[in-house]
Amino acid sequence: MVSPFCWGCLTRLRPTPRTLLPSPSSVSRGPAFHTSAVFHAGLRPGSGRGATAVSKFRQPSNASMKKRKKPVEKSRPPPVGERKAIRKRIVLSNPNALEVEGLQELSEETMVDSRLHGTALALPVPMLDQLRAVQAFKPNQGWSIFRRPCTILRQETLQLGRFFDKVSGDGEHKGPFVKKKIISGPSKSGKSVLLLQAMAMGFIKKWVVFTIPEAQELVSATSSYAPLSEEQPHLYVQNEATAALLSRTVVANKAVLSKLRVSQDHPALSAVTPGMTLEGLANLGVQDPASAWTVFQALWGELTATAAAPGLEKNFTPRPPILVTVDGLGHWMTESKYRDAEFKLVHSHDLVLVRHFLRLLKPGGDQPALPNGGALLYATSTTMNPPSVYAFDLILKRAAARAAGFKFNDPRFPRAEAYSNIDPRVLEALTSQKSKHAQEKKLGHQVLGGVTHDEARGFMEYFARSGLLQETISDEWVSEKWTLAGGGVIGELERIGRRLRVAA
Amino acid sequence: MAWSSSNCVVHAMQSIRSPTVLRALLPQQSAARPNILRKVSLLPTPLQQRTNVRNYATELQPGEVQAAAEIDFEQFKARPARIVPVSPSYFSGIPKFYDHLLQIERLLAQHTTLPTVPPSEAPRRAWMKIAQFREHLGEEVPTKKYMGLLKVVYRLNCIDPKLLPAEVDAALQEFVRPGNPLGEKPKPRELDGMGRARGKGKRKESHAVVYLVEGEGEVLVNGKTLNEVFPRVHDRESATWALRCSARLDKYNVFARVKGGGTTGQAEAITLALARALMIHEPGLKPILRKAGVITVDPRRVERKKPGHMKARKMPTWVKR
C-alpha cells in the first residue's frame, strides 16, 4: 500500500479516499466485504441511529402504506350458541310503535270477509304461542317493528280462507276436500307469510298442523340418521328430527290432540294403552327419540283414520282435517348431505320423513292422501340459497303451462332438454296424475307475485298508522312505492316503508 | 409545374408591364376602393390580350407569319433552368391551405358590400373540424390558422342567403363536413305502430334501450323486475326518476334492455333512455325533464391511467432518496 506521505518532502500527498480508511470510531462495523454503503449511511447528517438506518437508494420501494397490526382482541368470544340465538331470535312486539286503532283480528269471520281485502289483520294473541311452536315466524320478516304481529289480507289469503271455510264449514258444500299446492314466486313475495296465514287459519279452524319450517334442515346432515331397518337398508330415518316434529306438533295442537283418543291397533308400540289421547301418543315419541318414527307413523295413522279398529269404537271421534306446510321445498329435490355405508350421497327421497311428505303431494295414489280433508302447502324458498334442480324447475314450468291451458300434446308444453341429465326420481315424485278420488284435485301450482295497488295502499296505511311513516299516503305515492318495490313485492314494500323519514 | 424560360429579363419586363393589371385583382385593394374596378374595366389592355402582350420578344408583323419548324424533341435546346410551382404559396409549406385562404379572402373582398344576416339566422352548416380539414388537404395546418380561415368562412356564411352568389356558395361548400349533419334537422321521433316509444341512453360503460308504453307502472329490466336488477333502492329511484319527477310513474310501463358497466351506470343509462322515450310520448315535458337533469348527457368516462402514476392521478409516495 502506498503511503500518504511523500518521504522526499514530508508533505502530505492527496488525501486518501476515506472509504479506504474507515475510522472505527465514526462507523460501526458492517460486513467486512462491503463497506461503502454502510460508511455513507454513517456519514449522513441527521441519521440518529448512524449506520443501522440504510436507505434504499434507487431500489424499488413498496408504495403502499405499511399496515399496522390490528390490536388483538383480548375479550373472550360470546358463549357457544349465543350468536346463533341472537341471529335466530324472533321479536314480535315493539313497544315504541303506536297501537293501531280499530285493528281487527284474524278470525273465522274476518278471514273470508272480502270487504277487508287489503287491510292488515292482527294475529290473535293466544295463537302466537302456537305459531311460535311451529316456527311460523322467520327472523327477517320485520315483525319487530310493529306493536303486534299483523298480516295483510291479500287475494291469495282470501282464497285460502274460503277453502278452509269450505272444508270445515257446515254448509252443503262441506266435505273432506284436499288442496295440494306448490307455492313459488320471486324473492320476498310473501310465500312464508302465506304459509303462516294458512297455519293461523288452521289453528282457528282447529285443524291439526304439521310444519317443516326449514326443509333444508332435514337434508343438510345436521341431525342424526340411521338405516330404517334390516329389510330396508337404503332408507334412512332421522330420529331427532322426527322427535322435533312431534314436539312442535304436540305443543301447537295440544287443544285438538288432547281430545282425540287412540282408536287403532299399534302392535309396534307396547306403551300405547287403549283410551290414550293422541297427545300422549305423540309425547311417547318426544320422550324417546329412538321410537319417534314409529310414533309418528302411529299418529299419522290415527289422524287419517276414517273409522275405528274393531273393538275400539268407543274411543273414536271424527278426525279433524290436517294442514301440512313445508318451507323450502327445493332442498328436497336433490341429493342430501348424508352419506351411506359406501360413502355415497343419500338422495333426499331416501329419507323416510321427506319421502312421507312428498308421497302425500303426489296425486293418484290408491289411498287418498288426507281422507279427512286438509291442505298440503309446500313453498319454495329463495332466501335459503336453494339448489338449482333442473327437474324441479321443469315441473314448476309444466305446472304453470298447465295452468295457462296448454295440453301435454301442445308443442309449447315444456319438455326436458336432451342430455339434461334429469333426475328421474324428482320427475316421478311430482308428476301430476289424474286423481282417483273426487275430493282430491291435481297438484296445483301458485306463483305468488306482487300485491295489487289496493293491497299495497292498505299495507302502507298500516305503516303510517303504526307511526313508522310520516307521509301523506296518496294514490300517487303508493303507486310510486309499488313500482319501486318491483311491482308490489311485499317484502320490498316493507323495506321501503320501514325507512323512517322524519318530516322536516 | 410550368415551364419558364431562363430569360430573367423577360420576367422583369413582364412584372414591370403588368402591375396595374395584377393589382386590380388583389382583393384587399378592391375591397378598400371598389371604384378601382371601374378603372380596371377601362384599361386599354384587357386580359385576353395579355398573352400577346407578353410575347412581345417574338413579336412579328401580322403580314409575315410563317409556320415554325417542327420541334425536334430529341434535341430540345431550351431545357428549363428550374421548375416553378403552379401555386405561388408552394414554398409556404401548406400551399393548398393558403390557396383556399386566398380564394375566400378574395371572395370576401369582392362581396363585402352584400347585406348580411345575424349569425343566429345564417344557415347552419357543420364546418370541418381541424383534423378532418387536415386530412382533406393532406397538410399539417396549424389550428390557429384554420381558426382564422373559419372566421372568414363565418363572415361569408352570414351573407343574406337570398343574395348569396353561386361562387361563394360553392366555395363555402368546400369547408362543410361531408353529409352536413347540421343541415337538416332530424325528424321528430314518433311512436311505432304498437304505441311504443324507444329511447337510448348511455352512462359510463352502460348502454340502455327503453321501450315505453302506456300502462300502470310496471318496470321490467332485462326481463326481470326492478328489485331483482337493482338491490339498492337508490338505483331503482334513479332509474325511474324521469317518470317520478313528471308524476307519470303510474301511467307508463317500462321495458328496458341494458348491458355493460356496473349497477349505477346501468341505472343512470336507463334514466337517460327513459327520459328520451318519455319525450316522444309527451314532448311538452322537455322543460321539466331538463330541470330534473335527466336529459343532460353525462359524457364522463373513466380517466386513463398514466405511466408513472399508480392510477389516473395518484402518484407513488414521495421518498427523499
The answer on A230 and A202 residing in a single domain is yes
Does A380 fall in a domain? yes
Is the residue at A71 inside a domain? no
- What tens digit of pLDDT does each residue of A120-153 get? 999 999 999 999 999 999 998 989 999 999 999 9
Helices (H), B205-300: 226-229, 233-239, 241-245, 263-281, 286-292
**Beta strands A374-379 and A322-327, pairing class:** parallel
Closest partner residue to A57 (CB to CB) among B218, B233, B321 is: B321
Q: Which pLDDT belongs to residue B81? A: 76
Please tell me whether residues A240 and A143 are part of one structural domain.
yes
The alpha carbon of residue A335 is apart from the nearest alpha carbon of chain B, in Å, by 28
Q: Are A355 and A481 within one domain?
A: no
B317–A486 C-beta distance less than 8 A:
no
Is A75 within the bounds of a domain?
Answer: no
Interface residue of A189, A476, A478, A484 to substitute, partner B, most B CBs within 10 Å: A484
Q: Which chain B residue is nearest to residue A490, measuring alpha carbons?
A: B227
Neighbours of B244 (CB within 10 A): 18
Minimal-distance CA residue of chain B relative to A492: B227
Read off the pTM: 0.72
Cβ of A486 within 8 Å of Cβ of B228? The answer is yes
Residue B240: list chain A partners with CB under 8 A: 483-484
The confidence score (pLDDT) of residue A9 equals 61
Domain extent, residue A491, equals 453-497
- Looking at the fold, whether A430 and A341 belong to one and the same domain comes out as yes
Chain B residues in contact with A187 by the CB 8 A cut-off are: 228
Are A47 and A94 members of one domain?
A: no
Ranges of each domain in chain B = 1-59, 90-173, 197-292
Query: Is the CB of B321 less than 8 angstroms away from the CB of A55?
Result: yes
* Cell output for B120: 343566429
Q: Which residues of B touch A484 (CB under 8 A)?
A: 226-227, 233, 236-237, 240
List strands edge to edge, sheet with B197-203: B197-203, B206-214, B252-259, B219-221, B224-225
CB A486 to CB B225 under 8 A?
A: yes
Q: Does a structural domain hold residue A371?
A: yes
Reported as a single tens digit per residue, the pLDDT across A18-71 is: 554 445 454 445 455 655 555 555 455 554 454 455 556 666 666 666 778 887
Do both A179 and A100 map to the same domain? yes
Residues A219 and A366 in one domain: yes
| Tens digits of residue pLDDT in A407-435 | 888 898 999 888 988 999 998 888 766 66
Residues A229 and A208 in one domain: yes
Higher pLDDT, B307 or A15: B307
Distance from B310 to chain A by nearest Cα, in Å?
9
Chain B hits for A492, CB-CB cut-off 8 Å, are 227
How far A3 CA lies from chain B's nearest CA (Å)? 36
As assigned by CATH, the class of the B197-292 domain is alpha beta
The pLDDT tens digits for B30-45 are 444 444 444 444 444 4
| Of the partner residues A61, A453, A484, the one whose CB lies closest to the CB of residue B233 | A484
Is A69 within the bounds of a domain?
A: no
> What residues in A contact B244, CB-CB < 8 Å?
480
Give the C-alpha separation, B226 to A220, whole Å: 33
**Mind spelling out the 3-state secondary structure of B97-122?**
HHHHHHHHHHHHHHCCCCCECCCCCC
Name the residue facing B236 among A63, A65, A484 (closest C-beta): A484
Identify all chain A residues contacting B316, using CB atoms and an 8 Å cutoff.
Answer: 63
* HSE-CB of B91 using CA atoms within 13 angstroms: 4
Residues of B whose CB is below 8 A from A501: none
Instruction: Answer yes or no: do A328 and A222 share one domain.
Output: yes
Identify the pLDDT of residue A38: 52
Angle at A467 between CA A464 and CA A468, to 5 degrees: 75
Q: Tell me the average pLDDT across B238-250.
A: 94
C-alpha cell at A111: 278471514
